[in-house]
Structure 1
Amino acid sequence: MSQTEQPTERRDRVARPRSRRAFLVVLLVALVLLFVGPWWVLVVLPQWPVAVFVAGTVVFLGGALLFPVLMFLGHGPRALDRVAAVADTTLGVVWILLTWSVLAIVPRYVLAAAGVPDPLRSRIVAAAVAGVALVLVCWGVVEAMRVPRVRTTEVVLPRLGAGLDGTRVVLLADTHFGPIDRARWSARTAAAVGALEPDIVCHAGDIADGTVAKRRAQAAPLGDIHARLARVYVTGNHEYFGEAQAWLDHMAELGWTPLHNRHRIVERGGDRLVLAGIDDATAVGSGLPGHGANLAAALAGADPNLPVLLLAHQPQQVRHAAAGGVDLQVSGHTHGGQIWPFHYLVRVDQPSVHGLTRHGERTQLYTTRGAGFWGPPLRVFAPSEISLLILRSGGA
């Protein structure tokens, strides 16, 4: 070891292998949980004939071994879209199988209490789990691929002037243009946004998974969206997996205003509203120069007496918004959990999963379930949405 090497450098060299080992351990545990649970319920407990047992075991074992390879090829340096789509779909299907394999404990006990013997009891449960999973996967694909439904919410902002009462704010987030080409879905979604005759359109981040070059066609319809007062955009965490600055630049080319720790003022009827935006919470760790959520910079020069609508990708950023006196923060990120019951895990990390919530005396937070999906092309008990927020003044 060099005598000039600093203690922090030595610690970093030790920490990196430990981090890799920890990641491998977590990956192994996840694979065991995802594949062994359904295998046990669907293949082992029913005591199927040997041929069925062997076939089922080969399917689950092969899936467990291939899954990390597919994820690496699909989402690693090579970024093979077709492989990523297969890996993502596998993840969704196995998650649903695991969920309902765990829930199968209840009917198992019910059948046991009713005197149904094994292996008939276990075969009935296995058939039920497989049937429910099949229905949910098919339904989940339809829900994920449809144009999001419009969810309308009135939000009262006491500091909003009467001239801005009734302002129509359309919130998009988490379009996640990715391995599955959804250019036609994007065009239909953009048309649905336009049909709402918005005054302001906000995109709260996670536009795409991939580079601008790969996702340009899918993102293009965003340029066709029109708004009376403003179209504004902030980065999400997924932009920082690739080309955050490139997406900021591309949205500007499409006619949107990137709120990269900055604000703009909109006015109607003699009253004004501050539209501010901050980078995603993960931006500071990306290493990109000039990136990192900075609310003070975003509001610099704004009249403190004006109401503030803040775009911030993650709901957890509301703690800064509340401390900064923001009136309304709009966010995405959670997908409403996307595939039930994942929202329980999301709730551990975020203060809100969806809907309108209050944080402190002044600040409200609206969290949209998002328009698209990440990873598995499935939405189960977490419908996508285009959020229409109708702003009301305190005197309305």
Structure 2
Amino acid sequence: MRILLLNDFRIGGGAEIIFQKTYEVLVKQGYDVDMVYHNGRISPQGSIFSYVFSIKNFRIILKRLREGKYDIIYVLNYAYSFSPSILWAIKKYKRKNPNIRVIYNAHDAHLICPNSGLMYFKDNKMHLFPQILGVKDFIFKTLDHRGHVYSILKKIQWLFAYKILKLHSVFDVILCPSLFLVSKIKECYPNKKVCLLRNPLDMKNISLAILQKEKKASLQLVYFGRLSLEKGLDVLIKNLSKVSDLYELHIYGDGPEAINLHKLVNDLNMQDRIFFRGKLPWKELMSRLPLYDAFVLPSCCYENAPLSIIEAVASGLYILTMNYGGMKELAQIVGNYYFINPLSPERLYGAFDFIKKSGFHLPDLSLFSEDTFKNILSEYIEYKQNGTTGDSHITN
């Protein structure tokens, strides 16, 4: 069986990690797998028109499909670099090869909203869509933090791809790493097969043996991930500045908000409490996590399936996060959590008190094991159109 994996980039965030993990798992199982991604193999977007619909990428992918004679096309992220034009190429190829199967591993909400984080912007603030049921929900809203021009481009791309060309129809099954995203996509496409495939956690460099940690006078908090506006770190820092309890917050990562966050810490004179540790290789970061008491994830967006929550709790850390989206779902699965929204000094005092008084309970993380990922993924790879394999994972 020949399989083609498609993703915007080879290296980057969570989707890229799953892109490579999926490749490794399928190759180990004996499948003939090709990867196509941005770097050197596909034309990046160079104009407004190619962002909406890239003719060049359409032709490249269609040629690749015809030459490769694939049995399964497995799509991850595509809207940024490929553009949705590659779905038109797949659709065209599938007309002459009706037996091929197309699987979409959705890592965000792009399929149901031009803003893949289900957010809009008003008065320089982020706001979450409570639900997305139609164009009327977003057509008059600003969907990009960079302003109206980028917002309009996102809307044009999305409307052209899914309302005019209906390119989502090419997907035989949509896999999502959280029940939160499963439910959102099912709201918009009730007739599509939408199923759960949780992201796997690489346990080789994480110890599940939780050691008795030495009690310290100062709570040790950690954040690791992208330093971007939707992560809510600025709001967290402003509220921490009003908390008199002894604590330290160590921030690992890099991103577009790094300079602004450094300035904010300096303006608030919090250099002795908040420390920027830069971006570390994953293995080194995992080795440092047990040094901390709690992981803080204060995102303003829904966070579809933040694996950082699983990595942190597997290292013996309490979870301080928000009670919506994938953050709420994963926190409730692994336990040892305290919801800190709406962010305020009072909520943070409550969180600190929770850490000091609660006992840590070792969670069952088998849902996120590589074996579980491999077994469920194999079911969908081998699934036949008239079969029933895989249906049990729709609501698991």
TM over 0.5: same fold? Answer: no
Bigger radius of gyration among the two: 1
TM-score by length of 2: 0.31
